Amino acid sequence: MTQPPTHGGSRPNSGRKKGSNAYGETTKAIRVPESLIPSIKALLNQRKQQFEQFTQQHNTVFLPKPQPPQIPLPLFIGKVAAGFPSPADDYIEKNLDLNELLVQKPAATFFVQAQGESMLGAGIHPNDILVVDRSIEPADGKVVIAALNGELTVKRLSKTTEGVWYLKAENPQFPDILLNDGLELVIWGVVTNVIHNL
Asked if residue 168 has pLDDT above 90, the reply is yes
Confidence of residue 46 (pLDDT cuts 50, 70, 90): confident
186 φψ region: left (φ > 0), alpha (ψ -120 to 50), beta (else): beta
Query: In the chain, what are the domains?
Result: 34-68+105-195 (2.10.109.10), 70-102 (no CATH)
Instruction: Report pTM.
Output: 0.59
Phi, psi at 124, each rounded to 5°: -105, 115
Average pLDDT over residues 92-99: 67
| Active-site residue list | 118, 155
* Calpha distance 148→185 (Å, rounded): 5
Q: Name which residue leads in pLDDT, 136 or 7.
A: 136
pLDDT at 170: 95
Instruction: Write out pLDDT tens, residues 109-147.
Output: 888 889 899 999 999 999 898 999 988 999 999 999 988
What number is the average pLDDT over the span 176-197?
A: 88
